[in-house]
Amino acid sequence: MSDDLNRQIFKEEAYDLLRELEGALLELEEAPGELDLINRIFRALHTIKGSGSMFGFEEIADFTHELETVFDKVRNGEAAVTPALCGLSLQARDQIRAMLDSEDDEGIEPDNREAILKELEEFLSGVSCDQEDAEGESEAAEGTDGVKQPAGANEYVIRVVPKGDAEVDVQAVESFFEELERIGELTVRSGHAETGAGWELFLVTDHARDGVEDIFFFLTADVEIDIAAQVAEAGPPPPEEAAVSEAEPTTFTEGDEGAGTDGVRRIGEILVESGDIRESDLHEALEEQEQSSPKRPIGQILAEKGKVGPEKVSQAVKMQDEAKRQDGHRKKQEALSSIRVAAEKLDYLVDLVGELVIVQAQITQVVSEKNDPAMTLLAEELERLSDELRDSTLGIRMLPIGTSFSKFRRLVRDLSADLGKKISLSTSGAETELDKTVIERLGDPLVHLLRNSIDHGIETPQEREAKGKPPQGNILLAAEHSGGEVLIRITDDGRGMSSEMIREKGIERGLIAKDAEMAEKDLLKLIFEPGFSTASEVTSVSGRGVGMDVVKRAIDSLRGLIDIDSKPDAGTTITIRLPLTLAIIDGLQVRVEDEYYVIPLSLVEECVELSRSDVDENESGQRILHLRGEIVPYVHIRDFFRVEGDNPPIEQIVITGAEGSRVGIVVDTVIGEHQTVIKSLGRVYKDVEGISGATIKGDGSIALILDIPSLVRRVIAESH
């Protein structure tokens, strides 16, 4: 049972790493020289390989090892990043995902796996041929023990020390020494059995310090690990080698002087801040580094130019090493302060909180009838605590929408290549948080909208150039908070849509009358009708409007709104407006006769009394309200749901805003705000027009939640 749990934990972590890997590969394709990205990719692969081997996923570990070897060559400057390599790596990533998804290799195509392995071997063979001359030169540096010393090797002193009086599993620690021997020449200067104070190791390798740290990633023994870039107990190097040997051991071959993705300052930045060099010196060194192949460390270049002494570079190296150690400790503490929780458990917790909110409302109602000051005080305190618990629990379910952005970048990359188009996807607002359930259910509609933009929105490079546009099209995927909602926009700079063409198609399909007068925004909304399409031909990918009714229904099921704005040759913007959560909302409770309803508070603009002098009917018989000089159509809930009884002398009308239109909802009485726990309706009632769900009131009775968007569409349709 423990093994099954560990394997499941590995799979969950591996899925996260594969998502990170895909995003890093797509970024690397656009910035091939970014060492931070290369290191991120290598670490992700190294973790998948190590964990996979540890938990019995040998096939995954072996396959991942081949891709890891490729990126080990890349980060050591022995191979270049090319679009072909990025494409092959993405295929390998998909293969690892497929192997994770399957059990006992079922459903895996061995031919596909072997084809990828063969291409990886061919890539490595090509690298080996390119390195043949360099390897021949380095053979002259072989030591008397027959071990070949890599050219420009790094030297590290590694100390592994038990924490306090902790007992350490000697075999567990020393098993990691075999990994060190695979990446270089290892000498064990002192061992735990001899000194009782840990191990001191001397390693000569062509790997950077980060690569050495990765070896100990899976070491669970209670020890502290110190990796020093200086060689202990060794005399100073010859003067002509000082700049190289003191600067080389630390990884500072990055392409800029800013802080890395881990927040640790780089060597050049440290030297500038300490006043040892000027910024102009650093920029010159960076330019020289970009032109060198393989890239040389910044410290080495600066020392060779006489801009800084070797001792200053060595001091900066020590400062960076210390900063990295502190940063690593901080990350470990952060990792220890967070836990992974199964989604099912979280959903159950939200359900329990919802039930608690209902009980709290019932208690509040009973207490209000008793008129007991002490009980009233306790009820108010309970209400405050339940509100905080609700907000905290819902906050746990909130995730940044950017977690799904990487798959969209992959979609744009692959589909644009298939269609022979040049398209870039930019994103903003990735940190915008949304309920995890909403994010999951939003995935398919966004994929469909992006496919439409790629296939029928963005033109071919030739067509764009003929219109005076740049050959590369652009799609922007943006998210932002707006009050209690989230706005998601998909904007492209493609050919756009013609309202006249949409009108013709609408008439042709009998959706609108020939002489119907419609605003441009209303015409554009016709693309959401079932089967509507403006495409001249059907493609295997999509058609602008084909299936858009499915997108509309999906957004409606999320209690969201979708709007579209498009201009010919200027592009299209689709805006999706969504609630933050689907579990608990703030609502406005209303009553008609003895029936209670809830209107989502985020859609309510104002409440006014319905005066007969303000009521009128237009030529089509639709009821309209004259509100401060504006004509607002309205729907009478008593008539819509056929509630028996007579209208009261004074009625209330709730003005709502949805889909860019204002519509009034006429009720008998507006009761007030209501914390609404959403309950889904049974299959018999789920398709009832005008109702999106139900909630339980404080007295245990049911109140129906009004589906305002569907009521708005009904009113708008009747007006035409």
DSSP code of residue 601? G
Distance CA 209, CA 314 (A): 15
Region of poorest pLDDT, from 116-125, 287-296, 579-588: 287-296
Helix/strand/coil percent split, the chain, to 5: 50, 20, 30
Mean pLDDT on 682-706: 80
CA distances from 201 to 48, 173, 189, 205, 227 (A): 26, 12, 6, 13, 9
Q: Could you give the angle at which helices 436-452 and 405-418 cross, rounded to 10 degrees?
A: 20
Three-class SS of residue 700? coil
Mean pLDDT on 200-222: 76
475: Cβ contacts below 8 Å, ≥ 6 apart: 412, 423, 424, 425, 426, 450, 453, 454, 457, 458, 490, 491, 492
User: Is the per-residue pLDDT at 461 higher than 90?
Assistant: yes
Yes or no: say if 221 and 168 are a contact pair by the CB < 8 Å rule: yes
Pick the catalytic residue from 29, 68, 254, 485.
68
Report the percent of the chain where pLDDT is more than 90: 14
pLDDT at 491: 94
pLDDT at 666: 92
What kind of fold does domain 584-719 have according to CATH? OB fold (Dihydrolipoamide Acetyltransferase, E2P) (2.40.50)
User: Is the per-residue pLDDT at 137 higher than 70?
Assistant: no
Identify the CA nearest to 552 among candidates 568, 519, 530: 530
User: Is the per-residue pLDDT at 434 higher than 70?
Assistant: yes
pLDDT at 667: 93
Identify the CA nearest to 437 among candidates 345, 339, 347: 347
User: Is the per-residue pLDDT at 68 higher than 50?
Assistant: yes
Distance CA 104, CA 6 (A): 17
Identify the CA nearest to 57 among candidates 109, 100, 98: 100
Distance CA 195, CA 183 (A): 26
Identify the CA nearest to 252 among candidates 152, 307, 306, 321: 321
Mean pLDDT on 281-290: 82
pLDDT at 490: 94
Per-residue pLDDT band at 574 (split at 50, 70, 90) = very high
CATH 3.30.390 fits 343-397, yes or no: no
* 3-state secondary structure string across 625-636: EEECCEEEEEEE
> Which class for 603: exposed (0-12), middle (13-18), buried (19 or more C-beta within 10 A)?
buried
pLDDT at 258: 37
Q: Which tokens hold the place of 245?
A: 């040997």
Q: Which amino acid is at 132?
A: E
Mean pLDDT on 487-493: 93
pLDDT at 156: 85
User: Is the per-residue pLDDT at 475 higher than 90?
Assistant: yes
DSSP code of residue 603? G
The average confidence (pLDDT) of the chain is 78
Pick the catalytic residue from 34, 76, 452, 595.
452
* 3-state secondary structure string across 474-511: EEEEEEEEECCEEEEEEEECCCCCCHHHHHHHHHHCCC
pLDDT at 662: 85
User: Is the per-residue pLDDT at 519 higher than 50?
Assistant: yes
Three-class SS of residue 222? coil
Assess whether the region 343-397 and the region 400-579 belong to the same CATH fold: no
Distance CA 221, CA 156 (A): 21
Between 510 and 262, residue with greater pLDDT:
510
Region of poorest pLDDT, from 159-163, 180-184, 264-268, 635-639: 264-268
Distance CA 612, CA 690 (A): 25
Distance CA 567, CA 492 (A): 11
CATH 3.40.50.300 fits 2-141, yes or no: no
Model confidence pLDDT, tens digit, residues 359-380: 888 898 889 888 889 999 999 9
What is the per-residue DSSP string for 177-210?
A: HHHHHHHEEEEEEE-HHHHSS-EEEEEEESS-HH
Model confidence pLDDT, tens digit, residues 329-346: 555 555 545 677 777 888
pLDDT at 602: 80
Mean pLDDT on 628-645: 87
Mean pLDDT on 428-448: 87
Distance CA 443, CA 401 (A): 10
Between 571 and 559, residue with greater pLDDT:
571
Distance CA 692, CA 561 (A): 14
pLDDT at 229: 73
608: Cβ contacts below 8 Å, ≥ 6 apart: 627, 652, 653, 655
Yes or no: say if 627 and 570 are a contact pair by the CB < 8 Å rule: no
CA distances from 137 to 134, 150, 203, 250, 674 (A): 5, 10, 22, 24, 79
CA distances from 377 to 363, 380, 388 (A): 12, 5, 17
Yes or no: say if 50 and 56 are a contact pair by the CB < 8 Å rule: no
User: Is the per-residue pLDDT at 471 higher than 90?
Assistant: yes
pLDDT at 148: 40
Structural domain spans, the chain: 2-141, 154-336, 343-397, 400-579, 584-719
92: Cβ contacts below 8 Å, ≥ 6 apart: 63, 66, 67, 116, 120
Model confidence pLDDT, tens digit, residues 156-178: 888 888 877 767 777 777 777 87
Distance CA 413, CA 435 (A): 27
pLDDT at 252: 35
Q: Which residues pair with 203 in a beta bridge?
A: 156, 186
Model confidence pLDDT, tens digit, residues 114-128: 889 888 888 878 765
Q: What is the largest CA-CA distance in the chain?
A: 107
Tell me the CATH class for 400-579.
Answer: alpha beta
Mean pLDDT on 300-324: 79
Residue 68 designated active-site: yes
pLDDT at 630: 84
Residue 452 designated active-site: yes
User: Is the per-residue pLDDT at 90 higher than 90?
Assistant: yes
User: Is the per-residue pLDDT at 530 higher than 80?
Assistant: no
Per-residue pLDDT band at 255 (split at 50, 70, 90) = very low
User: Is the per-residue pLDDT at 501 higher than 80?
Assistant: yes
Pick the catalytic residue from 29, 39, 46, 674.
46
pLDDT at 162: 83
Residue 636 designated active-site: no
What is the per-residue DSSP string for 29-58?
A: HH-TT-HHHHHHHHHHHHHHHHHHHHTT-H
The kind and range of the H/E element at 155 are strand 154-162
Q: Which tokens hold the place of 438?
A: 């909403």
213: Cβ contacts below 8 Å, ≥ 6 apart: 225, 227, 328
Distance CA 74, CA 84 (A): 14
pLDDT at 711: 83
Yes or no: say if 255 and 265 are a contact pair by the CB < 8 Å rule: no
Strand order in the sheet with 154-162: 184-190, 199-205, 154-162, 223-228
> Which class for 650: exposed (0-12), middle (13-18), buried (19 or more C-beta within 10 A)?
exposed
What kind of fold does domain 154-336 have according to CATH? Alpha-Beta Plaits (3.30.70)
Distance CA 161, CA 190 (A): 11
User: Is the per-residue pLDDT at 237 higher than 60?
Assistant: no
The kind and range of the H/E element at 579 are strand 571-579
Q: Which tokens hold the place of 413?
A: 């990359």
pLDDT at 296: 72
Between 603 and 474, residue with greater pLDDT:
474
> Which class for 69: exposed (0-12), middle (13-18), buried (19 or more C-beta within 10 A)?
middle
Ramachandran quadrant class, 146 (left: phi over 0; alpha: psi -120 to 50; beta: rest): left
User: Is the per-residue pLDDT at 242 higher than 50?
Assistant: no
Yes or no: say if 226 and 324 are a contact pair by the CB < 8 Å rule: no
Q: Which residues pair with 615 in a beta bridge?
A: 625
Distance CA 581, CA 465 (A): 44
